[in-house]
């Protein structure tokens, strides 16, 4: 094992070298002569927009797709990787974005699944090995815990342990932080540093630039299936990386239009849903973006769902203008002028197997011009709407007849945004609107939200990303354990807001 990380790194032969890998799908060139090498004891970040070919490249390396051309060298020897099994045998492991764990099994059982050894299961020995591995790399996870009780961060650790258990020393992590809270990300980075110190090679796929700059030793940028540059965190900056990824300069701080707030559009008073919300009061005025910050799981999702009518309040009131909308049907609330960007865009936003034009009218199918006579739909109107939304929101798709499933996350979100904003709603409830999106798409979404404000509409922004809250909000509220624990101006220091996010002010604001 190497302990002197960094020293002599240049001289060491790469653990893995991909040479001019080309991979095309029918009609599409996903990787165009891409070369990449990863050395022992380094974290190599592979970044690029959605669809740039990062995942394809890694799937070629992991044996999931055969390459059309190019060579793969592992420890200097050319190899053929025909399946993930081959990859693992060569010491290459991959942790996918979506975990593949058996929920009712324990951590140990999951880790050894598929690699149990002989016919007789020696769980005690396996447990010891798992515990030893976990300890060695500082993974806080109990071998006997049942997976369904674990947090997302813990599940991810189990996935990584699965790979380590099989003796891999090249670990591919596909967007590992997309599902993690900031705290869990910090913990993951601690684990990764341990692995690096132990001489493992890590390929870190991401499009979160701050994280890449923090953890990576080297960074390779892909755009449209080609390598557009390789650099190190010392030699580059967030702005430069973003420009390499997107192909144009990207702004991380947008000009915020100055708007004099009008009358209150949304007034929530002492709202409780009997579960996560325990008396939330807030107000959003016309021409204002109010950001609700907080660690996830403190009632964010429930707050949004209760306002849009997906969840019934048990106490308190929700007023839109002068009308009480608390407990009304979703349809009526939508018709009253409330639009919703859900945090779960697959579960609450789109019907993935429906076409773009079918998704474009979801929620408006009963209204003219989409509703025809005798319960029919006016297909032409639906298609026209979709064509218009695709054009004005720059939704990149092969056509409006493709399934929503085939769009990238960014374009799916644009489709939802386009649909929800097309009716010019008085209030937009945006829940984690940029989760999982790449920088270009984030900027696009942000601009749209600021446009709402400029148009004198109200936006309630609920986000776990403090950056986002700061970039957009006119007022910042913190939500902790189902209550608003503080209100801050947009120039309040983040530390102060952080205290509110952890409920710090609650004592001071004494409950009535």
Partner 1 sequence: MSGPRGTKLVARREPAPWVESLVGQLLALLASLLIALVAGALIVIAYGESPLVVYGAILRFSFGSRTGVGYVLAIATPLIFSALAVALCFKGGMFNIGVEGQYLVAMVTATWAALELDVLPGGLHVAVVLAFAMLGGMAWAAVPAILKVRTGAHEVVTTIMMNGIAISLLSWALNGPLRFTNAPEGQNVDLRSDPFPPTALVGDLGKLFGVSRGAHLSWLLLLGIALAVAVWFLIRRMRLGYEARAVGQAPGSARAGGISIGAVQIKLFLISGALAGLTGMQQILADRGYLPQNYVSQLGFTGIAVAFLGQNHPIGIVFAAILWAILARGESALQLETDVPREFVIILQGILIMTVVIVYQVTHRRLRRRELGRAAIGEQDAAEPAPVGAVG
Q: Catalog residues that contact partner 1 under the rule CB under 8 A.
A: 25-30, 49-53, 56, 224-225, 246-248, 308, 310, 329-331, 334-335, 340, 342, 344, 346-354, 358, 362-363, 365-366, 371, 375-377, 379, 387, 390, 392-394, 396-403, 405-408, 411, 440, 443-444, 447-448, 451
CB of 453 to partner 1, least distance (A): 12
CB of 457 to partner 1, least distance (A): 13
CB of 305 to partner 1, least distance (A): 9
| Between 295 and 303, CB nearer to partner 1 | 303
Name the β-bridge partners of 229. Answer: 221
272, 248 contact by CB (below 8 A): no
Give dist(CA 303, CA 294) in Å, integer. Answer: 12
Q: Name every residue whose Cβ is closer than 8 Å to that of residue 350 and which is 6 or more positions away in sequence.
A: 359, 362, 404, 412, 415, 416
Helix axes 439-454, 409-421, angle to 10 degrees: 10
CB of 359 to partner 1, least distance (A): 9
Give dist(CA 140, CA 162) in Å, integer. Answer: 14
Structure tokens that stand for 298 in this block: 């403190």
| Between 51 and 436, CB nearer to partner 1 | 51
| Between 27 and 512, CB nearer to partner 1 | 27
CB of 52 to partner 1, least distance (A): 7
| Between 122 and 394, CB nearer to partner 1 | 394
171, 95 contact by CB (below 8 A): yes
| Between 162 and 448, CB nearer to partner 1 | 448
Give dist(CA 315, CA 313) in Å, integer. Answer: 6
Cβ neighbour number for residue 264 with a 10 Å cutoff: 16
* H-state helical runs in 113-208: 123-136, 152-165, 182-197
| Between 138 and 399, CB nearer to partner 1 | 399
| Between 151 and 406, CB nearer to partner 1 | 406
CB of 24 to partner 1, least distance (A): 8
Phi, psi of 168 (to 5 degrees): -75, 150
Helix axes 409-421, 379-392, angle to 10 degrees: 110
Largest CA distance in the chain: 76
Give dist(CA 321, CA 332) in Å, integer. Answer: 14
Q: Name every residue whose Cβ is closer than 8 Å to that of residue 493 and which is 6 or more positions away in sequence.
A: none
- Give the C-alpha distances (Å, rounded to integers) separating 190 from 130, 159, 276, 289, 449: 19, 16, 31, 36, 35
Give dist(CA 303, CA 479) in Å, integer. Answer: 10
CB of 418 to partner 1, least distance (A): 10
CB of 274 to partner 1, least distance (A): 19
**3-class secondary structure, 17:** strand
User: What is the dihedral sign for C-alpha 24, 443, 436, 329?
Assistant: negative
CB of 349 to partner 1, least distance (A): 6
Give dist(CA 23, CA 34) in Å, integer. Answer: 9
Name the β-bridge partners of 21. Answer: 34
| Between 224 and 319, CB nearer to partner 1 | 224
| Between 51 and 299, CB nearer to partner 1 | 51
CB of 148 to partner 1, least distance (A): 21
Strand pairing class (278-285; 288-293)? unpaired
CB of 83 to partner 1, least distance (A): 16
504, 295 contact by CB (below 8 A): no
| Between 141 and 361, CB nearer to partner 1 | 361
| Between 131 and 330, CB nearer to partner 1 | 330
| Between 123 and 371, CB nearer to partner 1 | 371
CB of 270 to partner 1, least distance (A): 25
Structure tokens that stand for 226 in this block: 């080609």
């Amino acid at each position: 094992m190497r302990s002197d990380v960094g020293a002599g790194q240049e001289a060491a032969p790469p653990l893995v070298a991909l040479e001019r890998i080309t991979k095309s799908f029918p009609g599409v060139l996903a990787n165009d002569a891409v070369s990449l090498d990863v050395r022992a004891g380094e974290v190599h970040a592979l970044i690029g927009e959605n669809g740039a070919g990062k995942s394809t490249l890694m799937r070629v390396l992991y044996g999931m797709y055969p390459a059309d051309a190019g060579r793969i060298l592992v420890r200097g020897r050319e190899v053929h990787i025909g399946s993930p099994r081959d990859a693992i045998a060569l010491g290459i492991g991959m942790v996918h974005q979506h975990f593949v764990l058996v929920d009712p099994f324990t951590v140990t059982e999951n880790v050894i699944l598929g690699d149990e050894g002989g016919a007789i299961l020696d769980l005690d020995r396996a447990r010891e090995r798992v515990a030893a591995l976990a300890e060695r790399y500082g993974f806080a996870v109990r071998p006997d815990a049942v997976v369904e009780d674990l947090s997302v961060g813990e599940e991810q650790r189990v996935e990584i342990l699965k790979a380590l258990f099989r003796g891999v020393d090249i670990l591919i992590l596909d967007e590992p932080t997309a599902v993690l809270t900031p705290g869990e990300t910090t913990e993951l980075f601690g684990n990764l540093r341990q692995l690096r110190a132990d001489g493992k090679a890590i390929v870190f796929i991401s499009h979160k630039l701050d994280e890449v700059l923090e953890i990576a030793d080297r960074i390779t940028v892909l755009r449209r299936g080609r390598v557009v540059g390789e650099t190190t965190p010392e030699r580059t900056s967030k702005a430069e990386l973003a420009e390499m990824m997107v192909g144009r300069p990207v702004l991380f701080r947008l000009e915020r239009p100055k708007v004099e707030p009008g009358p209150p559009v949304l007034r929530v008073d002492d709202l409780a849903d009997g579960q996560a919300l325990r008396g939330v009061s807030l107000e959003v005025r016309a021409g204002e973006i109010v950001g609700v910050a907080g660690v996830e799981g403190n009632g964010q999702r429930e707050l949004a769902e209760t306002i849009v009518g997906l969840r019934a309040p048990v106490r308190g009131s929700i007023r839109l203008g002068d009308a009480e909308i608390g407990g009304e049907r979703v349809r009526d609330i939508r018709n009253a002028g409330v639009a919703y960007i859900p945090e779960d865009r697959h579960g609450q936003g789109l019907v993935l197997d429906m076409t773009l034009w079918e998704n474009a009218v979801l929620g408006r199918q009963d209204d003219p011009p989409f509703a025809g006579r005798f319960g029919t739909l006016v297909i032409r109107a639906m298609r026209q709407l979709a064509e218009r939304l695709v054009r004005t929101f720059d939704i990149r798709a092969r056509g409006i007849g493709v399934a929503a499933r085939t769009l990238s996350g960014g374009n799916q979100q644009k489709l939802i945004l386009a649909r929800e904003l097309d009716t010019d709603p008085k209030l937009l409830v945006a829940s984690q609107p940029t989760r999982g999106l790449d920088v270009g798409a984030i900027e696009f979404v942000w601009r749209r939200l600021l446009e709402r404000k400029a148009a004198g509409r109200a936006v309630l922004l609920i986000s776990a990303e403090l950056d986002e809250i700061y970039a957009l909000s006119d007022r910042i509220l913190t939500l902790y354990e189902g209550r608003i624990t503080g209100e801050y101006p947009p120039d309040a220091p983040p530390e102060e807001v952080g205290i509110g996010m952890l409920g710090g002010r609650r004592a001071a604001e004494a409950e009535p």
